[in-house]
Amino acid sequence: EPEVTQTPSHQVTQMGQEVILRCVPISNHLYFYWYRQILGQKVEFLVSFYNNEISEKSEIFDDQFSVERPDGSNFTLKIRSTKLEDSAMYFCASRISETYEQYFGPGTRLTVT
Amino acid sequence: KNQVEQSPQSLIILEGKNCTLQCNYTVSPFSNLRWYKQDTGRGPVSLTIMTFSENTKSNGRYTATLDADTKQSSLHITASQLSDSASYICVVSDLKTDKLIFGTGTRLQVFP
């Protein structure tokens, strides 16, 4: 069964460094999402992406964040200058259309030291 | 503000027993309500999804109910198994923005 994959599974970085989290959505899906979950807290929406542009973003998704679909398969989340409070699990999700279910990847645990 | 609240925060039951998890939401209008299972360190996996007009949906031993008038949902797990130990998250889709609004989850532990 096709699934969303994410790499790396765990990323450790120093405060102020740039990180890129990678996702490979399910191949025929058209809508892509990033969420984050700070340890012990609920999952929070970051951004949605469709037709090569951002369709929605939350207040969390400030100028330090950017998303890109550099080719036909990858979907990336970049954090330009990481802060301690960016430490969280980051989940990518995709779906085929607006009326279908979102499928989540296994997540990338980002630790900022 | 759109919110999704769940209770209890955590629950411990013995294998083979049934349990019911609760969800209350203020999201309005909403397009659908979902229940997800999230194993520790993993992404959420969908269990059920219900639209405004549905009031019950089953998936094996999982049965979700929805009362759109009182803005409440429940997830009933029958004959629990050790593998049911996980967080169960209620998620409501905002009709206007299409954003998913997550509850804080109920942490279920099933012991032998």
Tokens of B112: 């032998």
DSSP structural state of residue B4: E
Going from the C-alpha of A77 to that of each of A10, A32, A39, A52, B8, the distances in angstroms are: 14, 11, 19, 14, 34
Task: Please report the sign of the dihedral spanned by the C-alpha atoms of residue A95, residue A4, residue B47, residue B102.
Answer: negative
Tokens of A57: 């973003």
Residues of A in contact with B102 (CB under 8 A): 42-45
Contact predicate B104/B6, CB 8 Å: yes
Q: Could you tell me which chain A residue has the CA closest to the CA of B32?
A: A99
pLDDT, residue A45, reads 93
A60 CB-near residues (< 8 Å, 6+ apart): A36, A44, A46
From first to last of the 113 residues of chain A, give the pLDDT tens digit: 789 999 999 999 999 999 999 999 999 899 999 999 999 899 999 999 998 999 999 999 999 999 999 887 899 999 999 999 999 999 999 998 876 788 999 999 999 99
Tokens of A54: 């951002």
Is B105's CB within 8 Å of A89's CB? no
Is B89's CB within 8 Å of A43's CB? yes
Q: What gap in Å lies between CA B73 and CA A94, rounded to an integer?
A: 25
Per residue in B55-71, pLDDT tens?
Answer: 999 999 999 999 999 99
Q: How many other C-beta atoms are found inside a 10 Å radius of the C-beta of residue A18?
A: 11
Q: Is A107 on the interface with B (CB under 8 A)?
A: yes
Q: With 80 as the cut, is the pLDDT of residue B54 above it?
A: yes
pLDDT, residue B94, reads 85
Is B98's CB within 8 Å of A43's CB? no
Q: Which of A10, A9, A8, A24 is nearest to A104 (CA)?
A: A24
Q: Is A21 on the interface with B (CB under 8 A)?
A: no
